[in-house]
Chain A
């Protein structure tokens, strides 16, 4: 293979949920696609993620991308591999102030076309009897769902392959070159390149700042019906979008298996993938304050993962500044699973020179070149 160059219409580097979605979308348009992935498909942030499909409303651009994507996710409802479960999201208010703020969020989500409802205390406990007494109420987003991201990524790659896409499994993209990419075994692929390597972005595109934001998750044995909705505290966005070195928030998910997935934690400056006992403790204590019953449940595993985080919290979706035929789709932080399908559509529209369904300007990597 050395020295020879296979030619493609699009070379997707990275087969996480974002890269896999891009490869799938490109192959659906008849493009000749290559996919380069050194590890398991969906083995990075995609594997570590909770797989919660959720619209966050605190940034209009993020909301637009999420809403666009959530509609596209509807195509996966019956896909076995997706393990799609429409449990809805229940945001929990501890006090009247939080409940009042929920009203504003409902208005913003409603304006974007997302059904969200205010829930009073009585209705809250009807929905989730295990919640700690004394909460004020909450906000229910009934159409939101959870999926199992690595299997979706696998499915998307296989679907692309069934349309002729070529998977370079176990191969790392060593460098971007004019008109293509050089792999670690010396293979050269030529054609436009789309880099979707998440936290590993700086290795290929060092001009685009990216930080890894570590998270922990704990999964329990099976307790079917104990928790029915994805539960979050309304203060979640403070943790998710704050810039504190470390934070935790109540974020608990019922898996279709009956298992309960418990998050969430966020840490900058933690590069080691090891489980941090103190972060696990903080995260679990936070979850116990909302659902005391959790204390008694059996935990099976703890794992960590890294969210690819840009300085302004928005992903890079667009052309690489100052380069020709180089594209980037990376930096989705905690929303990569939710926004992967919309990101892929947007990328294909940009690459093909079409008018995109949503305004691409807020995600343009050009903002870092200024």
Chain B
């Protein structure tokens, strides 16, 4: 089954929604793909109990002329088509232009006890709560780095969790300076102030990080390194996230150049969001972590570029550039404390899919050699978690992406062939 779209957008978060809407506004046939059951992405993930933010409702409900293809997981990429898996079958979607709005994922770092049940990412626990996983009455420690910790705390509180504290590894000076500079982006400053107000009464500690999660069959407490010494906190859940990492796997399989100047690669785009591959555009967090505002603007730009309206896309450039300056501010103020890279010891699991401990990786200089010898990164997450963590730890950069983009049914892969010249149809 092969369907053709003038524009295909991968990822129905804020960037993808804006891209799809912009592309559809001039009559193009637009498909918006997402592996999740609802549009919204991570930041606007559907909450089973709480109403969506107004901006999210507007972006999702007012989509016009867009075919929203949820539960469509992209499995493999070809020059002008994507192989997609749905719960029922597999489809081949060909495109005239493609917009990658694949967003970002959380950076998890290994520390003793990080694989205990009850330990998740900060955004991870936020997503679980939104999906209805019960957190009411649970004592939660939130730790890690970046503004996402506050958003997670807010959601968890709304779902009835008792947030014991937010432990930000950046120093108090860094966070204060960040807050001061935020005034250049009034909307963000306003949003942050609102969050802080709602979280009044929740301790927000700086220069503090979890050095160990303790417990036998589940987390029972955490050891927190603070500027005033080690503090022990009893808790039921630990939500620890160290910021975000761009999702670049699909871009990489499409042959798009990645910018790997920093620890974690991002999709390389020009000022009009064109990737190195013709007719493939990228928008939002996959091009660098900048937050919601950037994602929405870039989404609109990329959608316009995808239908060839360079002039309309260019009109967004000043606003986009202004918002993108936030990236550097974020990165500078939430730089990870080097001590975070030394928490894991030889016995700490680093690849949880294959239960590989950090000590097993001694002496390996690249991801492939380490994988071949230890299985590190061979599991179902395809190295997404351990790969980013090991890059952050300064061990070695992530290995190259491989098909399938996500684990997929063999039947789906068996439907990969597309070329009409390929006459063979099995035995």
Contact = CB atoms under 8 A, between A and B. Distances in A.
A278 B372 contact: no
B88 to A, nearest CB: 13
Contacts of A296: 409-411
19 contacts: A40-B368, A40-B372, A41-B369, A43-B369, A154-B373, A220-B410, A221-B380, A262-B410, A277-B78, A277-B417, A288-B411, A289-B427, A296-B411, A298-B409, A299-B409, A300-B378, A300-B379, A300-B380, A301-B378
Interface in B318-372: 366, 368-369, 372
Contacts of A281: 413-417, 426
B132 interface: no
A46 to B, nearest CB: 9
A107 interface: no
Contacts, number: 102
B172 to A, nearest CB: 44
Contact of B416 (A221, A280, A288, A303): A280
A361 interface: no
Main secondary structure of the interface of B (DSSP, over half): loop
B409 A285 contact: no
Interface string A275-286: 101101110111
A298 B419 CA distance: 24
How many interface residues does chain A have, given as a range? 20 to 34
A47 B404 CA distance: 19
Interface of A: 40-43, 47, 150-151, 154, 218, 220-221, 262, 275, 277-278, 280-282, 284-289, 294-303
Nearest to A288: B414
Nearest to B379: A300
Given A295-B409, A299-B409, A300-B379, A43 B414 contact: no
| Most chain A C-beta atoms within 10 Å of own C-beta, residue among B78, B380, B414, B426 | B414
B416 A299 contact: no
B57 interface: no
Interface string B46-79: 0000000000000000000000000000001010
B180 interface: no
Contact of B410 (A40, A294, A301): A294
Given A41-B369, A43-B368, A277-B418, A284 B413 contact: yes
A357 B417 CA distance: 48
B407 interface: yes
B128 interface: no
A221 B373 contact: no
B426 A275 contact: no
Contacts of B417: 277-278, 280-282
A281 B379 CA distance: 23
A312 to B, nearest CB: 28
Contacts of B418: 277
Given A154-B372, A280-B416, A281-B414, 18 more contacts: A43-B368, A275-B402, A277-B76, A277-B416, A278-B416, A278-B422, A280-B413, A281-B417, A282-B424, A284-B414, A289-B426, A296-B409, A297-B410, A299-B409, A299-B410, A300-B379, A300-B404, A302-B403
A218 B83 CA distance: 17
B408 interface: yes
Sort A-B residue pairs by CB-CB distance and give the 5 closest, nearest first: A277-B416, A40-B369, A285-B426, A284-B414, A278-B417
Contacts of A278: 416-417, 419, 422, 424
A300 B369 contact: no
B94 interface: no
B169 interface: no
A363 B128 CA distance: 62
